[in-house]
Amino acid sequence: MRRELERQTQRFQNIYGGEVTTYAAQPDPERKPWRKKASLLDQAFQKELQKIESDKSKQTDDD
């Protein structure tokens, strides 16, 4: 494949007098850590935890 591309490049330069610009290959995209979308149960659990924490902080403020 490389030979064919080089042949076509030479042909383009010789016949058409064109200029060929080569570019570096693009790097592979960086993989981001996978994160699952919170389900309704996960959201409810988080709300309960926040509620418990706020109740706890209210109790310590009252003391």
Number of CB atoms found within 10 A of residue 9's CB: 13
Residues 4-53: pLDDT tens digits?
988 988 888 888 888 877 788 888 878 877 777 889 999 999 999 999 99
Q: Judge whether residue 63 has pLDDT over 70.
A: no
**Domain locations in the chain?**
39-63
Burial (CB < 10 A; 0-12, 13-18, 19+), residue 62, is exposed
Cβ-Cβ contacts under 8 Å for 18 (sequence gap 6 or more):
12
pLDDT at position 52, please?
Answer: 94
Please give the residue that has the higher pLDDT: either 25 or 3. Answer: 3
